[in-house]
Amino acid sequence: EPEVTQTPSHQVTQMGQEVILRCVPISNHLYFYWYRQILGQKVEFLVSFYNNEISEKSEIFDDQFSVERPDGSNFTLKIRSTKLEDSAMYFCASSRTEMNTEAFFGQGTRLTVV
């Protein structure tokens, strides 16, 4: 069964450092998303990406965040200068079409900022 894969599964970084979280969406999917979940809290939307550009972003997704699809398979989330409050589980998701909003989630990357 096709799945969304994320690497690494766990990343520890020092405050102020840049991190890149990587995702390989399901191959025939066209829409890509990043969500985050701070421990004990709800899953929150960060950004959606379609046709090589951001289609929607939340208030959380400020100038410190960026996304990129550097090749035909990878989808990355970059945090330029990490803060303690960026510590969370980051989930990548993909979906096939706009109307099919069934999003398939990757297993997540746990980011710990120290």
Partner 1 sequence: RKEVEQDPGPFNVPEGATVAFNCTYSNSASQSFFWYRQDCRKEPKLLMSVYSSGNEDGRFTAQLNRASQYISLLIRDSKLSDSATYLCVVNMNYGGSQGNLIFGKGTKLSVKP
Distance of alpha carbon 55 from alpha carbon 22, whole angstroms: 19
Can residue 60 be called a binding residue for partner 1 (CB under 8 A)?
no
Choose between 14 and 101: whose C-beta lies nearer to partner 1: 101
- Taking the least distance from each CB to partner 1, the nearer of 76 and 89 is 89
Question: DSSP class of residue 99?
Answer: S
The SS3 of residue 86 is: helix
Q: Does 12 bind partner 1 (CB under 8 A)?
A: no
35 binds partner 1 (CB under 8 A): yes
Which one among 14, 27, 42, 52 touches partner 1, defined by CB under 8 A? Answer: 42
Contact call for residues 88 and 51 (beta carbons, < 8 A): no
Q: Which is nearer to partner 1, 42 or 85 (CB)?
A: 42
Residue whose structure tokens are 């990129």? 68
3-state helix, strand, coil in the chain (%, to 5): 5, 50, 45
CA distances to 20, 61, 104, 111 from 15, in Å: 14, 18, 30, 11
Told to check if 23 binds partner 1 by CB under 8 A, we report no
Q: Closer CB to partner 1, residue 6 or residue 82?
A: 6
Residue ranges in contact with partner 1 by CB under 8 A = 31, 33, 35, 41-45, 48, 50, 55-56, 58, 89, 91, 98-99, 101-108, 110
